[in-house]
Amino acid sequence: MEVKLIDYSSAPLEKLYAAFRTCYSSKTPIEIWEEITNGTIPKEKITSFIEERLKTGHSSPLEQIVFWFAVSGISRSCSHQLVRHHVGISFEQQSQRYVKYKEDKLEFITPKTIKSDPEIYDKYQKLMKEISDFYQLALSKGIPAEDARFILPNATPTNFHILVNFRELQHISDLRLCTRAQWEIRQLVAKMRSEIMKVLPELGKFLQPKCGEYRLGYCDEEYKEYVKCPLSKVRPHKEDLFNIFNEYITKEKIQKTQAKPLSEKEFQFIEESKLESNEELY
Ligand SMILES: Cc1cc2nc3c(=O)[nH]c(=O)nc-3n(C[C@H](O)[C@H](O)[C@H](O)COP(=O)(O)OP(=O)(O)OC[C@H]3O[C@@H](n4cnc5c(N)ncnc54)[C@H](O)[C@@H]3O)c2cc1C
């Protein structure tokens, strides 16, 4: 698998800063940009302002920063998972209609588990060779590539040119850097992250699995899966946090803030906009 960051939005930190500031400032975006370009706003202020904003749920400004990636040598199994992400991301994928795989280019992706079992690996290689031979035979007999490809397995390699905005990349990282994601897509997204870390660590550090300290912060997967995850040594589980919270509340007798399921009473409260005083509710 090869993953290369081809390009990204110019002045990404400045653009993010200006996008966020436009929301919160009486200044016009033109005035904000003048401040950026004439050096009134130092780089450190831009970075720290973005860091603060990134901790909040105001994430639409992140759509204004985009990245281009070139990806090659991932399996069709991985690519099928990748293209399920469809918001804020565009793909161009190598066609199996227009591209006729040469035998040497049909390097099937092999999972480690298959490689680690000699008997299985041997059979796998024979099967792949047979598939490859059938594919070449079909092409040589004039079967169009779009039909010959019906024999190709999930292990077939594929290539992509990808455009993705930072908001979607954060979301993809939330899901696919999680150790519960399948190994190949996890590896792919980890490589995308490390490409960004090389050039933009200020943003790259916000690409984490959802349990990361810059994201949700805790694991919300099934508890039995959490226990198996190596990251459970450094990240808490939601259930544990609530248990500790409830224990503390009970011990300190702070009854009002006990975590309980939301009842219709709370929704009535929301509807009637009595949020300034919770006395009426409890
Ligand atoms: C561990 C794991 C296991 C999975 N297993 C399966 C499986 O067994 N079968 C299967 O079919 N898929 C599976 N998936 C794929 C999963 O269901 C999603 O299709 C995939 O992760 C794409 O993510 P997304 O829906 O958040 O799409 P994205 O395009 O990344 O969407 C980004 C965000 O935009 C919003 N959004 C996107 N589309 C809509 C919409 N139509 N309406 C409203 N809001 C929207 C959502 O907030 C969404 O989170 C799995 C994914 C993971 C990570």
CATH number of the structural domain spanning residue 92: 3.30.1360.170
CA of 224 to the centre of ligand 1 (A): 23
pLDDT at position 223: 97
Asked if 91 contacts 136 with a C-beta cutoff of 8 angstroms, the reply is: no
Pocket test for ligand 1, best of 78, 90, 167, 171 (most atoms within 8 A of CB): 171
The pLDDT assigned to 267 comes to: 85
Q: How far is the CA of 108 from the centre of ligand 1 (A)?
A: 27
Ligand 1 atom closest to the Cα of residue 85 is 29
Ligand 1 center–CA 80 separation, angstroms: 12
The gap between the terminal CA atoms of the chain, to the nearest Å, is: 58
Q: What is the CA radius of gyration of the chain?
A: 25
The alpha carbon of 175 and the centre of ligand 1 are apart by a number of angstroms equal to 9
pLDDT at 61: 95
User: Is residue 158 a contact partner of residue 75, using CB atoms and an 8 Å limit?
Assistant: yes
| CB-based contact 14:46 (threshold 8 Å) | yes
Q: Is 213 found in the same domain as 76? A: yes
225 located within any domain: no
Say if residue 9 is in the same domain as residue 115: no
The C-alpha atoms of residue 16 and residue 22 are separated, in whole angstroms, by 10
Q: Digits of tens for pLDDT over the chain (282 positions)?
A: 999 999 999 999 999 999 999 998 999 999 999 999 998 999 999 999 999 998 888 899 999 999 999 999 999 999 999 999 999 999 999 988 888 887 666 789 999 999 999 999 999 999 999 999 999 999 999 999 999 999 999 999 999 999 999 999 999 999 999 999 999 999 999 999 999 999 999 999 999 999 999 999 999 999 999 999 999 999 999 999 999 988 888 877 766 667 788 889 888 888 886 655 555 555
Ligand 1 pocket by Cβ (under 6 Å): 84-87, 168, 171, 175, 180-181
Q: Give the separation between CA 187 and CA 65, rounded to whole angstroms.
A: 23
The reply to whether 89 and 183 lie within a common domain is yes
Q: Does residue 278 form part of some domain?
A: no
Select from 226, 260, 231, 261 the least CA-distant residue to 245: 260
* Strands (DSSP E) found in 146-227: 157-165
pLDDT of the residue at 248: 85
Residues 86, 182 share a domain: yes
Instruction: Please tell me the total count of domains within the chain.
Output: 3
Q: Please report the pLDDT score of residue 250 as a whole number.
A: 81
Do 80 and 127 lie in one domain? The reply is no
Q: What is the domain range of residue 123?
A: 107-155
Q: Residue 103: which residues within 8 A CB-CB, separation 6 or more? A: 132, 136
Active site residues: 176
Q: Same structural domain for residues 90 and 5? A: yes
State the burial class of residue 197 (Cβ atoms within 10 Å of its Cβ: 0-12, 13-18, 19+). middle
**Residue bearing the CA closest to ligand 1, atom 17:** 84
Task: Specify the pLDDT at position 57.
Answer: 81
Cα–Cα distance, 166 to 99 (Å, whole number): 31
- The set of residues, in sequence order, having a beta carbon less than 8 Å from that of 189 and lying 6+ positions away, is 172, 173, 176, 177, 181
Residue linked to tokens 């390097």: 107
Residue of 81, 91, 162 best suited for mutating to test ligand 1, as the one with most atoms within 8 Å of CB: 81
Nearest to 71 by CA among 168, 195, 169, 171: 195
For residues 179 and 249, membership in a common domain is answered with no
In a domain, 281, yes or no: no
Query: Whose CA is closest to atom 8 on ligand 1?
Result: 81
